[in-house]
Amino acid sequence: METTLIILKPDAVQRGLMGRILSRFEDKGLQIVGCKMIRISQQTAERHYESHKGKPFYNGLVAFMTSSPVLVLAIRGVGAIAMCRKMMGATFGSNAEAGTIRGDFGVSNSFNLIHGSDSPEAASRELEIFFGAGEVLDWDRAGEKWIYDLSGGAPE
């Protein structure tokens, strides 16, 4: 099982898309193990996007991410990182396939609704930035056996 960070960005929050996007992850069978609405501070945004520092879009990205509340999620499942990124779609809404979050809800090349960790290392780093000790929970879902084939002893 992997746990990944998902951020519903200011445009998703302002457009009232949080529930519809969150439902997609749950409908897929992924487990929400952490969730909170926050306003990202300048310092946190700079830390989160430090790999982009010096790029032409960096200042605008930090300003955008601090402009309004966001919903941060810790999502768990087998292959959760790749699965969530596939569900998100191409970075720019204008290029994203129909059926993806960005493809269905986005048209902008600046406002792209959602962030998802791109690797296990990034997920670990990013989850630490946005969730403190005890805020990402381990809990058993009653329907887990209907989501994953557990007959071999491990989720499949």
Q: Which active-site residues does the annotation give?
A: 115
Give the dihedral of Cα atoms 124, 26, 69, 48; nearest 10 deg. Answer: 20
CA pair distance 30, 16, nearest whole angstrom: 21
Cα distances (angstroms) measured from residue 133 to each of 34, 128, 129, 136: 11, 9, 11, 7
